Amino acid sequence: MSFSKEEKAMWLEDWRKSGKGAWTYAKENGLIPQTFAGWIKKDLKPAEGFVEIHPKTPAVLKTSTILVEKGEIRIHFPAGTSGAELRLILECLGEKT
């Protein structure tokens, strides 16, 4: 049996929504599991050319740090340290925030 691109896309979308394993889903729906696995593999193949990526959080270099100094005390924090964490440290050093 042959399926169109649209039909394959429909099967793949329904499978993803089902939460089932590919093999189980294929057998339950009268599809050949090996063929269905091939559809998944082709569907996951990266697009050619450039693909725009939108990170959930801004990228921060692992070497970037925030330096907090008070007198002779110097504390380095990763650049991704939250304001709440920094506020807590400053309070521990006796600074009002």
| Whole-number Å distance between alpha carbons of 26 and 10 | 13
∠ CA 36-39-42, rounded to 5° = 155
- Is the CB of residue 28 less than 8 Å from the CB of residue 20? yes
| Whole-number Å distance between alpha carbons of 23 and 37 | 8
Tens of pLDDT, residue by residue over 39-60, are: 998 887 665 666 666 666 555 5
SS3 content of the chain, % helix, strand, coil (to 5): 45, 10, 45
Global model pTM greater than 0.85: no
pLDDT at 48: 67
Three-state secondary-structure class, residue 69: strand
Tens of pLDDT, residue by residue over 60-87, are: 545 577 777 777 877 888 877 788 877 7
Task: Domain ranges for the chain, please list them.
Answer: 5-44, 56-97
